[in-house]
Amino acid sequence: MMSRQILSIPRYRELAEVLVREVRTDYGPGDLLPTEAQLAKRFAVNRHTVRRALDELVAAGLVTRHQGRGTQVVDRRLDYAVSAGSKVTQNLASLGLPSNTCCLEQGLVTPPEAIAQRFGRSASEPLLRVDTVRTVDDAPLMRLRHWFDPERVPGWLERYRGGSTRALLGQHYGLRLHRRRVRIDAAGADRDDTRWLQCPLNAPLLVMTSDNTDAAGVLVEVSVGRARADRLSYHIDFDDAVGRDFDEAAGRHRDAAGDPSDLFPSDEDDA
């Protein structure tokens, strides 16, 4: 006779479900949850169970932990405006959000073939790679991988230690970059993402790849940003001039090829 196994939900998940409901109905953006000790006493569980339950809420993007302050309900999904000249730091500052950029690693690296082709180089020629992570209110928001033409930024490795890359480009190299092309993809978090973005493996991410040029239209940087989709959304505004240019281009293409969707050829994956 086969034994029957009773399946039960772990206590921390039961607690997490209760807390999710309460966060969504009883708390507002920015509110602090009770302390782990208070929650443990209320639900008659140990603090380890409370901590695992709160881990579930953090992974779901509902709350963030702040050392010395406690567990806070996430304000909202950040609305990031993408334009030719927009900068991460300025976008976040306009929302009144303090941010910080930490340099994870940088150096001359052989790039993927797709990146090398963008710069018109062979895959064997090294490019400058700068990996950073951007945090908002001490909570990780996005990972950024910057690829630079090293000839345009001599001495970068001695100068950059963190903070806005755009600020350094302007202050020391006289470069004010503009986005020439942007591509936004969906992806699942890999193991590096789980470490730096504090999200579960395969959690949904938004990946934005930008080709950034100088005033003469010469490519200086390709940036690849991997952002938590539960914490950030992108919006793109088009002015009337851009809209007219697009309509005219689409019209010409329809006349020539009959399919305006071909105006948007797919690229190789850069992430």
- What is the residue-averaged pLDDT of the chain? 82
- How far apart are the C-alpha atoms of 130 and 124, rounded to whole Å? 18
Q: 237, exposed or middle or buried, with CB in 10 Å at 0-12, 13-18, 19+?
A: exposed
Burial 7-23 (b: 16+ CB within 10 A, else e): eeeeebeebbeebbeeb
pLDDT band at 229 (very low <50, low <70, confident <90, very high): confident
Average pLDDT over residues 171-186: 94
Check pLDDT > 60 for residue 238.
yes
pLDDT tier at 21 (50, 70, 90 boundaries)? confident
What pLDDT does residue 240 have?
A: 47
Rg (CA), the chain: 23
pLDDT number for residue 69: 84
Query: Are 123 and 110 in contact, with CB atoms under 8 Å apart?
Result: yes
Tokens in use for 209? 């790849």
Cα separations in angstroms, 249 against 238, 239, 258: 15, 16, 12
Please give the average per-residue pLDDT across 194-219, as a whole number: 93
Is the distance from CB of 212 to CB of 180 less than 8 angstroms?
yes
Per-residue pLDDT band at 25 (split at 50, 70, 90): confident
Locate 182 and state its tokens. 């942007």
> Which range among 37-46, 136-145, 213-222 shows the weakest confidence by mean pLDDT?
136-145
The pLDDT of residue 1 is 40
Query: Is 231 a residue whose pLDDT tops 90?
Result: no
Of 156, 132, 134, the residue nearest 145 (C-alpha)? 132
Higher-confidence residue of 50 and 30: namely: 50
* Closest listed residue to residue 55, CA positions, set 13, 27, 26: 13
- For 51-108, the pLDDT digits (tens) are 999 998 887 778 888 888 889 887 666 777 787 776 666 666 666 667 889 999 999 9
36-43 and 47-59 helices cross at what angle (nearest 10)?
Answer: 110
Lowest mean pLDDT: which of 6-10, 145-149, 227-231?
Answer: 6-10
C-alpha to C-alpha distance for 81 and 236, rounded to whole angstroms: 6
Query: Could you tell me the domains of the chain?
Result: 11-73 (1.10.10.10), 78-236 (3.40.1410.10)
Sort strands 232-236 and 219-228 into parallel, antiparallel or unpaired: unpaired
Integer angstrom CA distances of residue 140 from 46, 48, 78, 192: 28, 23, 12, 13
Task: Decide which of 109 and 231 is more confident.
Answer: 109
Q: How confident is the model at residue 2 (pLDDT cuts 50, 70, 90)?
A: very low
pLDDT level of residue 166 (50, 70, 90 thresholds): very high
Question: 225 has which bridge partners?
Answer: 144, 208
Among the residues of 95-239, which ranges form H helices? 113-118, 156-159, 165-173, 191-196
The pLDDT of 115-127, averaged and rounded, is 93
Tell me: pLDDT of 241 over 50.
Answer: no
Q: Is the dihedral of CA 34, 39, 43, 48 positive or negative?
A: positive
Mean per-residue pLDDT, 217-239: 86
Residues 69, 201, 51: CA angle, nearest 5 degrees: 35
Say yes or no to pLDDT of 128 above 60: yes
Q: What is the pLDDT of residue 246?
A: 43
Looking at residue 270, its pLDDT comes to 38
Task: Note the pLDDT of residue 7.
Answer: 53
